[in-house]
Structure formats: structure tokens, C-alpha cells
Structure 1
Amino acid sequence: MAADSDGPVRSAETDKLWNEMSVDPVELHLGKDSGFTLRAYRMSDTLPGAKAAAAPAEDKAEVEETDEDVKPGGKHAADDDAAPEDEDALEPDAADFADDEDDAAEEDEDALDATPEEVPVFLTRKGKLLVFREPGALVEYVKGNDDHDLAAIEEYAELQERLSADDIVCDEDDTYELDLVVANLRGGQEAWEPELLIKAAEVGRDLGYALKNDSVVNSLAPGSPLDDLDETFRIVVDGGLRGKLAKRRLKKNDSQQAAIAWRGVIAKINDHVEWRG
């Protein structure tokens, strides 16, 4: 399987390795730098500390109240904090009812947290994504270290034994050119490349979750402007009558605002990348 039309070709042995490990090498292009990391998808109940990745409600509210340019997802997250300054002003029954509602909400949140879901796991360590400029440096690190989040997967010890530099060949679907996103959006609707932007949203959501970065998560959350744009691109790619209608809808989007929003997301991701090798 080729990484791209001009890039290196994966051997059958390399394909077998990644399939058996259920891990993939990922190539990231960010600004003037690019490199490789690893990503896996696992059920959340098989990973330590999965519940901590959920965005705290108070942090979401703070983001929404201070970000005027791009409204992140979870539009009503701040409503929970809109309580009267003086709780004694509530009638006794109303106060009791409010407490009951809070308890019910906490129970519902705990139930959601307890439901296993498939989540992304990267080579992240202490809130940083480790990206290696050279395949050999990535392999050397993996073989010599297990103090990062990806080491929690069951297959990690076997991956350490079997991995070689020749295996760091990324599938085209796992190559993300985030460095092209802002320029493409600024080129206007006619120049937009849906596949490029869909992939950017995909890896952005994954990295937001893996890095526990609420700002990135919220910016791409359901109902956010960037998520709506992503959904429209997906309809366009699917084609048909809905695709034609979606193309018309794209023309109503402000390309400059979309570019500004994505520039902010990419900057936040870049701030949490640790370049190595």
C-alpha cells in the first residue's frame, strides 16, 4: 500500500505488523516542520485515566464566554453556571428542585463516563504530542521508552520488539497536511479541497481528545461552526443531489472566518507538539 503516488511502498510484512498491532504511523505537516508519530484506537475502558479526558463543564463555559470570534461546540454549556448570585433568593422548594436537578445531571454524566467508547491514543507524554522528524528516531524512542500514553495498549511490548524504521510508511489516509488548511480556506469556496479539510477535522478531534485540550475539542465539537463546515464537506464528497445542495450551502460560509478559526485550532495543536529527531 503506497503512502502516496510518489512515496515509499509498504511491504507485506509492514502491513501485517500494523494490522496485527492495530496501530498506525501518522505523518503530520505543521507549518515549516513535519514528522511522524503513532496512533491507535482503543476502547476507553481498556485505558487508564480515560475519564479524565472529558472536558470539565467550567472550562467549557469559560471558553465560550471569552471567545467572541468562533463559538465552540456545546453552545449551552455555560447555562449551568448562570445561577443567581444569591442562592437564598430562591424559594425553598425551587432551591430543593435545583439541587435535585444538579444531582440528576451528575448521575447522568457519571453514566455517560462509564459507557466505553472507542478513543484515539497517540505517543503523548505529559500533555505533549511526540513527533519525530526521522523514522529512525521514532523507532529508537519506541524501543527504549514506555513512559507515554501509547504504552498503555496491550500490544505495546510486542510492537517494541518488532518495529523497524522500514515500517514507518504512512498510508495516505494517515497523512495530514495541516500546514495547507488555512491557505486553502483563504483561497475562497471555489478553491476549497474537501478531502484536505475533512482529514484536518478528523485528526484535530483526535488530537484534542488525546491531548485533553478542551479548546480544540470544543472548536470541533458537534454544533460548532467548524463541525458544521466539516459535515457540509462530507456531504459534498458523497455527491448526488445532497452534494449539489451542500455546494450551494458552502457559498454562504465566510472563508476568512473559517480560516481564522482553523488557524487558532492549528496553533493550539502546534503549542502541544514536542518535535524530536
Structure 2
Amino acid sequence: MAAESGGSARTAESDKLWNETNVDPVELHLGKDSGYTLRAYRMSDTLPREDVVVEPTKSKDDVEDGPDVGDNPEDEDENEVPDEIDFLDELDAAPEEVPVFLTRKGKLLVFRDPESLAEYVAESDDNDLAVIEEYGELQKRITAEAIVCDEADTYEMDLVVANLRGGHDAWEPELLIKAAEVGRDLGFALRNQSIVEALTSGSPLDDIDESLRLIVDGGFRGAFARRRLRKTGSEQAAIAWRAVIAKINRSVEWRGTARAESTEETSGDSAE
């Protein structure tokens, strides 16, 4: 079930808030649950050093034989052992724009309703997004009514695997291109090297993404990309994406009112 929107359309006041803070609300659909978080893009040399360190994860087992993430993401393997890797030399040499999310202690905070997200931001600076200069202003001005996501910032990750399994003719370029976009962003922000590598330049999933973008652009290169894309196995692509989405799911901390009681009963944790 999709999360309820904070409003039918953005007001001039909410547009002003997001434009002046250079932050955007993001809506994520991840299998059994949906909700909202925040994302900003900043130059890497303006962030604390620990915010641009990416840690890889090594899984003891592949998730290829597990259930579809859209159905049971919690059933995927959770035995990940983090190793340290430092990309600071590369980033220091060439500062670049990087994503910063509402993350905390390696978890992405996603709120099931706009009210819970607005309340959390207004009351807490215990998260990685708080390092941006505009966070204090955001705390003063954020409201539930302002949390209305543009279509470009709404990601239906729960539809990706099924769409890929439908065959090349059924593939939806916008859905898959947007999934790759947010996947790369989350891999970096969560410091999850396995997600980063799965979507990095030259990887099979990146090749699919590049071909889809060429198809959308059209022309001769688009026609060539379409022929090349047909050589990609639908099932292999679905398996690879299922693994990425499983890792994202394991890195989400759900908060908010929807299903809160059942979540607290099983986890023993309560939202701050």
C-alpha cells in the first residue's frame, strides 16, 4: 500500500522551503512498506571526513535462492561483515557532488507518514543530514504539509523485480532508471560497498541503465541499445536487482504510525 502523500500538490511555501534549504523529500516504496525520507546533494569537500568514507560489505551467502524482496525482504540473508575501505584520497583530489540522506548509525530513517518525519526533523539533529549548513533552518520551517514529493523523487523499488521478469518488451525505462539512481545514492550514503559495486560503471546493472537511457533518448544509438539490451537475460537482471534491494531493505529503519504497534511488538524498539 502506498504511503499517503502530505498533500495533493506542493504549495508555493513548501517549494520555497525546499529550494532555499536545497533539500528534497523522497518517497520510497520497498515491498511491504512505504514512506518518506530526506535527501540533499552537497560537494564532498564540504562534509565531515567520516561522511565520505564508504565501507564495503561481504555477504556469506548470495541471496539468489531467496524469496522476492518485494514479498519478503526480511527473509534475505543478514550475515554481512563490514570491511573498511577509504575513498578519501580520490575525493580529496577531485571534490564531487555526493548524496546525503537522513541516515543514522548506518541506517536509513524512513517515516511512514509526513507527520512523523516533520516531527523527527524538528526535534532531532542526531542524524547524518544534520551536518549540512541548512539543517537548522529546515528544523524551524519543516511541516507535514510541506512533505510532498515530486514524481522524480518517488521510487517504486517494489516493482523492479517483477518488471524485469516480465521480459524485455515489458521493461519500463523510467522505473528502472530511477531505481538505479536512488540505488547508487543509497549505496554511497549508507557506505555499503556491495551496493556501490553492483551499480558502478561497467557493472551488468549499470550496462542496463546506460542502455535504457539511450533508448529513452531515441535515435540510432537508442535503436542499437535496444538490440544490445535484448541480449541481457531478464532473470539474471531480476536476481541482481533483488540482491541490491534486499541490502537496501536491511539498511532501513522504519518509523512512524503505520503498523507501529506490530513493529514495536516484534522488535522491542520504539521510535524516538
TM-score by length of 2: 0.79
SS at match of 2:25: strand
Larger Rg: 1
SS at match of 2:110: strand
Alignment of 1:1-277 (within 5 A): 8-50=8-50, 52-55=52-55, 110=89, 112-277=91-256
CA RMSD of superposed structures (Å): 2.2
Q: Does the C-alpha gap of structure 1 residues 158 and 178 become closer, same or farther in structure 2, counting only changes over 3 Å?
A: same
Q: Which amino acid aligns with 1:19?
A: N
More helix by share: 1
Asked if the contact 1:44/1:50 (under 8 Å) is kept, the reply is: no
> Matched residues in 2 for 1:50 and 1:114: separation?
16
Q: Offset of 1:242 from its aligned partner?
A: 1.1
Q: Offset of 1:52 from its aligned partner?
A: 4.7
> Matched residues in 2 for 1:276 and 1:114: separation?
38
Gap runs ≥5 in structure 2: 1-6, 65-85, 257-272
The equivalent of 2:76 in structure 1 is: none
Cα deviations by residue, 1:70-124 (Å, 9 ceiling, x for unpaired): xxxxxxxxxxxxxxxxxxxxxxxxxxxxxxxxxxxx9x97254342111000000
The equivalent of 2:262 in structure 1 is: none
Q: Offset of 1:151 from its aligned partner?
A: 0.3
> Matched residues in 2 for 1:66 and 1:275: separation?
25
> Matched residues in 2 for 1:180 and 1:155: separation?
34
Q: Which amino acid aligns with 2:35?
A: G
Q: Does the C-alpha gap of structure 1 residues 134 and 112 become closer, same or farther in structure 2, counting only changes over 3 Å?
A: closer
SS at match of 2:42: strand
Q: Offset of 1:67 from its aligned partner?
A: 6.8
Percent identity, please: 69
Q: Which amino acid aligns with 1:197?
A: L
Equivalent residues, number: 229
SS at match of 1:150: helix
Asked if the contact 2:44/2:52 (under 8 Å) is kept, the reply is: no
> Matched residues in 2 for 1:43 and 1:32: separation?
34
Asked if the contact 2:198/2:205 (under 8 Å) is kept, the reply is: yes
Q: Which amino acid aligns with 2:138?
A: L
Q: Does the C-alpha gap of structure 1 residues 140 and 265 become closer, same or farther in structure 2, counting only changes over 3 Å?
A: same
> Matched residues in 2 for 1:122 and 1:217: separation?
16
Gap runs ≥5 in structure 1: 1-6, 70-105
> Matched residues in 1 for 2:212 and 2:107: separation?
30
SS at match of 2:136: helix
Q: Does the C-alpha gap of structure 1 residues 66 and 109 become closer, same or farther in structure 2, counting only changes over 3 Å?
A: farther
